[in-house]
Structure 1
Amino acid sequence: MGRAEERRARQRAGRRAAPRRSRPMAAETGGPAAAAPGKPAKSRIRRIFGWKKILGTFFGVCLLGILGFIGLYLYVDVPQGNAAAQQQSNVYKFSDGTILARNGKVNREIVDLSKVPRKVQLTFVAAENKSFYHDSGVDFRGTARGLINTALGRGKQGGSTITQQYVKNYYLNQDQTVTRKLKELVISLKVDREKSKDDILAGYINTSYYGRNAYGIQAAAQAYFGVDAEDLKVEQGAYLAALLQAPSQYDWAVATDTGKKLVTERWNYVLNNMVEEGWLPKAKRDALHFPKIKEPKGAPGLGGQKGYLVELANQQLERQLMAQEGLTASQAENAVVDKGWTITLDIDRKKQSALERTVKAQLTSKLNPKQRKVDGDIQAGAVSVDPKTGRIVALYGGQDYYKHWTSNATRRDYQPASTFKPVILAAALEQNATTQDGQPITANTVYDGTSRRPVLDHGSRVGFAPPNEDDFSYDDITVQQAMNKSVNSVFAQMGVDVGMSKVMSTAGELGMDTKGMQAVPAQTLGSMGASPLEMAGIYATFANHGYKVTPTIIKSAVNKGRSVDLPNPVGGSVISRTAADTVTSVLTGVVDDGTASESVARNPLRGGQQVAGKTGTSDENKSAWFTGYTPTLVTSVGLFGEDPKTRAHVSMKGATGLLPPPGRINGGGYPAKIWAAYTFSVARKAQFDLNTTQGAAVAPVETPTISQTPTQTPSRTPSSAPPTSESPTQTPSQSPSQTPSRTPSQTPSQTPTTSPPTTPITEDPLDPEGNFGQ
């Protein structure tokens, strides 16, 4: 053995021996080695989680994934197209199980792609998948994101190619499961290899759902523009391409302001993408205008009220699928319409029939458009809700679904006017608000009822001074009396006392869609938009002692043995019971001593039934409302002035032959009459169970005093009393009124007693013309 070899052998022997010598020494002496007990553990971690093993594991998982995908690719075949087979009749039933409607005739006509103008074809590519002509048919990143989100229950996220959407429409379904997404991925790859891009695009535009019961581009072209697909212009094609994202929401004829804004943005997005891709000259694009959309027609078999009921049921089911399964609006609509659902509604057959008969007897039978043009402008809507369950038991959407596509029961484009006043009172009570001199706001709080009195915020004018109805001015008046007579000046001041942001927050809690609404004093007059459905939900929450009621029309929804879980229409408390019951107590005064007394309190069918409610008549008499309730039934009735040709909001004055002055349709007139005749014929009698010491239901009501002001006309005299009803046929009482007595708790705020100005008032930003709702 050489020296070098001996040296290496000694070194090896030394390394092997060293640990044996050092361990006992360290343990015995407490030397440095004793402080390193973790080294063996670290070595074990390194041996278990070494970078080589981690890298190996990663590549192993990747290999397994690749092998699994190859196996899946070989296993999954392209199935037979089943789009037509998926179209089945939906069956809609009344709450007792009897058939309401069966709707399912498929409106589709397949057209060859050569029949569709080339630039119209490109609008769909620009809208959905700009890389369509050179991709593999799959968006791997979007699909992976969708798989992960679906597995984690986060819903649908990420985009799909046109090929993938075609596969969902034609070969698969809209289910949001990992299995379905994997199949979609494989089938899309195969379809992209087996079919030309033109074949895929043709399949996509011919199988997509465009709303209005229109499947495919030919049916859509007819439904929205009254032309064949081959005659579509590029701006029309861009609209249809934009429409696919949310067919019902983007249908211009029935869209909300938000929906119109969104579809316009989407339309511009499509055309701008075409310019960006070089498919449309910028000069031509700049010359294009948003197309005119044809008025819709009802689907077969849905005449009368059926269409309105089916439409709301579909919308609520679609929203539930979006929330529950993470579908987009387009996917949800495509998953509901004509897909073999059996949907049982909450609609009570007897109440529904009674509501329809009542509207005809009290209103539509009196309309004669041939004799009076304004009679053709009158639209009625109503929603009736059980406040204990939240179920919609009856609904009136218009005279006929075929004649008027827009449901007057759910439309939100008319002002609720003074039916909003109870929300202001509810906010005041819930917030324990005070007047600006520190007095608690209760039913007995005294305000200055002067018409056109400037609203003040701690001594400063806010630029708002609304007139009362017919410009009547009152002396000091309690909140109860102000609610009875719908005194605008009182509630305008109260809104500022409470804080308009708090008022609008309470409105949102109660169920009003306040998104985008400004918290300004003009809102105290109900100058926002609202639907009878919304107002019925708000008042149902009052009737249900402050527990949130979200009206629902669906009792159950079943598809191929699968039931959809439906949310409870009655939720938790959003305002205290005392606040809700006080509002109810105050609103009984409107019926017994106020603007609804003539039509409701004196109805011979009432028979002692306790009733709470509020009238409303909007600016320029474009809408009139009565929303009221008994302990067992809440119903909101709205009348709307709408030009049948332009859909513009118009005045209802003079309808049914009402003569001036003032000749207007007020909330205390036809809406209250419809409400009373319907409610007293179907609601079982019951008494309110109120937890409050305030309001007309538990305390006597005194008649307010009217004062003469410079704003009154010369023909008015101080002895004139205010109308006891909003009905235009009412004659003011000539008997003298009693001034309300003051108690220590009724000391009026010093701010509201300011005298009315003789100079013009600065307009409110929501009502620049100074036309304020009554």
Structure 2
Amino acid sequence: MGRAEERRARQRGGRRAAPKTRRSSRAAGSGKSGIRALFTWKKILGSFLGLALLGIGGFIVLYLVIDIPKGNALAQEQSNVYKYTDGRTLTRKGEVNREVVDLSQVPKEVQRTFVAAENKSFYSDSGVDLKGTARGLLNTLSGKGKQGGSTITQQYVKNYYLTQEQTVTRKLKELVISLKVDREKSKDDILAGYINTSYYGRGAYGIQAAAQAYYRVDAGDLSVEQGAYLAALLQAPSQYDWAVASDTSKRLVEQRWNYVLDNMVEQRWLDSGERGGMKFPVPKEPQGAPGMQGQTGYIVEAANRQLARQLVAQGAAEDTDDALAKIDRGGWTITVNIDRKKQAQLEKSVKNQLTGKLDKGERKVDADVQAGGVSLDPKTGEVLAMYGGIDYVKHFTNNATRRDYQPASTFKPVILAAAVDEGAETQDGTPIAADTIYDGDSRRPVVDDGRKVGFAPPNEDDVDYGDVTVQTAMNKSVNSVFAQMGTDVGMAKVMEVAGALGMDTEGMQAVPAQTLGSMGASALEMAGIYATLDNHGKKVTPSIVASAEHKDTAVEFPDPIGDQVISREAADTVTSVLTGVVDDGTARTSVRENPARDGQQVAGKTGTSDDNKSAWFTGYTPGLVTSIGLFGEDDKPPHKQVPMYGAGGEERVNGGGFPAMIWAEYTFGVMGKVTKFDLDTDQGAGVRPPPSPSTSDPQSPPPSPSESDPESPPPSPSESDPESPPPSPSESDPEPPPPSPSGSNTSEPGDPGETEDPPLDDGDQQ
């Protein structure tokens, strides 16, 4: 080793590394060469071209082996059979509502509305949208469901030649058959097939049935405006049907209607001046189909919608509209949980306690009163009876499932359930329980961590109750107490519990105003919520369908009884407190004193919404939960919500009036043996009844006449709500008026309290 090498070796720690480095370099070079050899651009390009050729070859094979099948849409026309669980037939839904018309019978401008809506390139394309189809295949493989982008030809092929199943095989068949159909049929034939096989909602297949269902005219008499609506409708028939659409859906369908007409102007199929003068053509009211009279149509509709949701959930349909179309094609045997005797009793009770007392000739308001109700078994979730309205062929909207009216004070038990389940405390750290003392003065500002939150709701008739227990506040439906309790618990937690119990809370804001039950809810929802309370906190999802059978589709329904969503103690505490509403609260006249009660233990809650537009009683025994709602709806289109003052000869319609009377006659008429609640709690009137019904709270004033007497005088315009009156100006004012001198609370649970409290910090207010 030379001197220089030796010196370098010492610097490297005495090791001769040069030869090793050379070997390592060769090894590394060999590795890089191996990777480059494996992934050369020639090999990558060759692999890509090979896969492309393989795909093209595969498609050619598919094109050769797949023929245009015989059309199946018309061949699938069958009746649906609806049965009770005892095997008796409820009804048969008749033949599919379809009448095929020649394209020549449809005005040219109306034909073009469908092209403008779905496929502007229809007259020049090859029948397929490769990008849309590729997107659909990827969505199917990834489980994302429905996709857009199909041409009119593809949609016609899916409607007429194929099934609605979401599989890669079906989509590939759709692609091949669409290409062949486009080559073998004229564009007019394809368009005619499309508009004659599409589903438009209201049980209508094809443009002729749709024209009659929505506008009472033949397809040949449709205007461009009407045609544009029917074309827009195809995107979401159940959502865009004007008769049942929400405000959001109405806005969306109008936007799509405008989109269709604007596309027609763009394609030069419509003069811009003529377009500017067009107004949205509001469809006519729906008409019930034969065999759907009375309550039958409401039951069938509710059963179809539950079945449709399940078909979507298990991947047998793309969305609700696809599922409803699949059901309306027929061939189903659907068994419902409806109990014939209970159904008859519910109908009889509504007639005896409400509709038989309404006189449209004597009182105009009587024509505006709608009733809805649902009764279910809390141990099974089975919907045993349903009242959807006066008659399905006269009033299309199902009052048992509609969600556009406020549940009002029937929401208060949810707040208490959240409080007990969460172990929540008042502002001064006192655990919230049935005997916790709250300040019950009307318009008392709600406080959160020492700060006023800008919400101070009035009580019914603006009554100041002073210091009251939670039990008394529930009995008398004291708004100010539950507004503060909701804030104490945290409104986010309250809405979370509401969702867990069964309320659809999507899009609802977690704000103190919700404590008044200002959201929308249905009788079906409220029955499910109270059934979960009755079932000791185990989730109950109402189910009207017992089973559904079809030769091509197997359906398995989930168990209506789910997991424990709140603690048994929380659920049983609410039940115990709600017995006080019946025995010493707003429902005592109609329920407690009913001679048919025969000692039956009952829990329940009344509710009356802002301006007397809705009134509720939702109540239960250990084995039966029933929710009854009355709704003020203008008898004339567009059927706006209206007050019910004076209806049935009563100056104000309360939850403790007609709804509670219907509930009592029905429940006590079908309940069988007398039962008691099995409650795992030491709170509330159900386990610790007060000394006497009228003196349970020495601090609270006697009930106002309207609370106990359905014939109480009407309130002043500003005092319209027996349970949750309209918000005072202070609800929207960040600085509400100060509380009365007795508005603060220093009482401990169980103390008698004082009528005049010393001044306290805001943080001590309850």
TM-score by length of 1: 0.85
Distance 1:256 1:751, change over 3 A: farther
Corresponding residue for residue 391 of structure 1: 382
Query: How far apart are residue 37 of structure 1 and its match?
Result: 5.9
Amino acid at match of 2:486: G
Match of 2:689 in 1: 700
Aligned to 2:668: 680
Deviation at 1:726, TM superposition (A): 4.4
1:38 Cα offset (Å): 7.2
Q: Residue type of the partner of 2:749?
A: S
Q: Report how far residue 474 of structure 1 moved.
A: 1.2
CA distance in 1 between partners of 2:212 and 2:172 (Å): 36
Q: 1:754 to 1:356 in 2, by over 3 A?
A: farther
Is this contact kept in 2: 1:383–1:394, CA < 8 A? yes
Q: Which is further off, 580-589 or 147-156?
A: 147-156
Q: Identify the range of structure 1 (52-61 vs 215-224) with the bigger mean alpha-carbon deviation.
A: 52-61
Partners of 2:413 and 2:314 lie apart in 1 by: 34
Cα distance in 2 for partners of 1:613, 1:483 equals 10
Q: Please give the alpha-carbon distance, in whole angstroms, between the structure 2 residues aligned to 1:34 and 1:752.
A: 94
Residues 1:136 and 2:126 aligned together? yes
| Structure 1 partner of 2:764 | none
Q: Which residue of 2 aligns with 1:8?
A: none
Describe how 1:270-669 pairs up with structure 2 within 5 A. Answer: 270-325=260-315, 327-560=318-551, 562-646=553-637, 647-658=639-650, 663-669=651-657
Q: Is 1:377–1:650's contact at 8 Å kept on the other side of the alignment?
A: yes
Amino acid at match of 2:346: L
Matching of residue 191 in structure 1 with residue 181 in structure 2: yes
Question: Secondary structure, in 3 states, of the residue corresponding to 1:132?
Answer: coil
Counterpart CA distance in 2 for 1:592 and 1:333 is 45
Q: Name the CA shift for 1:552/1:269 in 2 (closer, same or farther; >3 Å).
A: farther
CA deviations over 1:190-223 (Å, ceiling 9, x no partner): 1111122122111111111111121111221121
Counterpart CA distance in 2 for 1:406 and 1:697 is 38
Bigger Cα displacement from structure 2, 236-245 vs 31-40: 31-40
Report deviation, 1:459.
Answer: 4.8
Deviation at 1:51, TM superposition (A): 4.9
Q: Distance in 2 between matches of 1:456 and 1:608?
A: 42
The code of the aligned residue for 2:697 comes to P
Match of 1:4 in 2: none
* Residue correspondences, number: 707
1:447–1:749 contact (8 Å) kept in structure 2: no
Partner SS, residue 156 of structure 1: coil
Query: Deviation at 1:236?
Result: 1.6
Q: Does the 8 Å CA contact 1:436/1:751 hold for their aligned counterparts?
A: no
| Structure 1 pair 271–428 and aligned structure 2 pair: CA distance change class (3 A) | farther
Contact 2:78-2:331 at 8 Å conserved across structures: yes
Give the CA deviation at 1:362.
2.1
Deviates more, 1:410-419 or 1:548-557: 548-557
Q: Which amino acid aligns with 2:236?
A: A
CA–CA separation in structure 1 for the residues paired with 2:666 and 2:563 = 30
Distance verdict in 2 for CA 1:438–1:505, change over 3 Å:
same
CA displacement at 1:407 relative to structure 2: 0.4
* Contact preservation (8 Å) 1:92, 1:99: yes
Q: Is the 8 A contact 1:303 1:402 kept in 2?
A: yes
Alignment check: 8 A CA contact 2:96 2:328 kept? no
Are residues 1:235 and 2:234 paired? no
Q: Which residue of 2 aligns with 1:772?
A: none
Name the structure 2 match of 1:161: 151
Do the aligned residues in 1 keep the contact of 2:437 with 2:748 (CA within 8 Å)? no
- Compared CA separation, residues 70 and 649, structure 1 to 2 (3 A): same
SS in 1 for 2:278: coil
Does structure 2 retain, via aligned residues, the 8 Å contact 1:119–1:279? yes
User: How far apart, CA to CA, are the structure 2 residues paired with 1:152 and 1:603?
Assistant: 59
Q: 1:349-382, CA deviations, whole angstroms, 9 ceiling, x for partnerless residues?
A: 2222221222222222222222322222221100
Contact 1:467–1:489 (Cα < 8 Å) also in 2: yes
CA separation in 1, counterparts of 2:21 and 2:216? 95
* 1:72-119: CA deviation from partner (whole Å, max 9, x where unpaired): 212222223232112211111112222111113222222222332333
Provide structure 2 residue ranges, at least 5 long, that are not aligned to the other structure.
Answer: 1-15, 714-744, 760-766
Contact preservation (8 Å) 2:96, 2:205: yes
- 1:41 is displaced (CA, Å) by 6.9
Is the CA contact 1:665–1:727 (under 8 Å) kept in the aligned structure 2? no
Q: Which amino acid aligns with 2:394?
A: K
SS where residue 138 of structure 2 aligns? helix
In the aligned structure 2, how far is the partner of 1:744 from the partner of 1:649? 44
Indicate the SS of the match to 2:314: helix
On the 8 A contact 2:746/2:757 being kept in 1, the answer is: no
Partner of 1:111: 101
Residues 423-481 of structure 1 show CA distances to partners (whole Å, capped at 9, x for unaligned) of: 12122223332222222222111112222333334454444333322333212111110
SS at match of 1:387: coil
Deviation for aligned residue 1:422: 0.8
Matched letter for residue 275 of structure 1: V
AA partner of residue 454 (structure 1): P
- Note the aligned Cα RMSD (angstroms): 2.9
- Native 8 Å contact 1:244 1:330 kept in 2: no
> Structure 1 regions of 5+ residues with no counterpart?
1-25, 708-718, 732-740, 756-774
Are the aligned partners of 1:591 and 1:600 in contact in 2 as well (CA < 8 Å)? yes
Compare 349-358 and 208-217 and name the one that shifted more: 349-358
* 8 Å CA contact retained: 2:607, 2:655: yes
**What residue in structure 1 maps to residue 704 of structure 2?**
722
Kept in 2, the 8 Å contact 1:474–1:706? The answer is: yes
| 2-structure distance, mates of 1:533, 1:386 | 12
CA distance in 1, matches of 2:166, 2:403: 32
User: Aligned pair in 2 of structure 1 residues 47, 409: CA closer, same or farther (>3 Å)?
Assistant: same
Does the CA contact (< 8 Å) of 1:455 and 1:752 recur in 2?
A: no
Q: Which amino acid aligns with 1:318?
A: A
**Mean CA deviation greater in 285-294 or 51-60:** 51-60
* Equivalent position of 2:61 in the other structure: 71
Q: Check 1:752–1:129 CA distance in 2 against 1; reply closer, same or farther (3 A cut).
A: farther
Which amino acid letter does the alignment assign opposite residue 187 of structure 2? K
SS in 1 for 2:95: coil
Identical amino acids, percent of aligned pairs? 68
Mark the CA change 1:190 to 1:458 in structure 2 (over 3 Å): closer, same or farther: same
Whether the 8 Å CA contact 1:376–1:644 is kept in 2: the answer is yes
Local SS of the residue matching 2:127: coil
Distance 1:580-1:265 versus aligned 2 partners, 3 A rule: farther
| Structure 1 letter corresponding to 2:402 | R
Instruction: Answer yes or no: is the 8 Å Cα contact 2:576–2:685 preserved in 1.
Output: yes
Measured against aligned partners, the alpha-carbon deviations of 1:544-583 in whole angstroms (never above 9, x if no partner) come to 2222222121121121153212222222232222222211
Deviation at 1:46, TM superposition (A): 6.0
**How many Å separate the matches in 2 of 1:159 and 1:585?**
56
Structure 1 residue 520: Cα displacement = 3.0
Structure 1 residues 425 and 749: alpha-carbon distance in aligned structure 2, compared to 1, 3 A threshold? farther
Q: Tell me which amino acid in the other structure corresponds to 1:115.
A: Q
User: Equivalents in 2 of 1:529, 1:93: separation in Å?
Assistant: 31
Mapped to 1, the partners of 2:671 and 2:746 lie a distance apart of 39
Give the match's secondary structure for 1:587.
helix
Structure 2 SS opposite 1:562: coil
Q: Distance in 2 between matches of 1:217 and 1:512?
A: 37
Give how far 1:53 is off.
Answer: 4.4
Say if 1:226 and 1:294, in contact at 8 Å, map to a contact too: yes
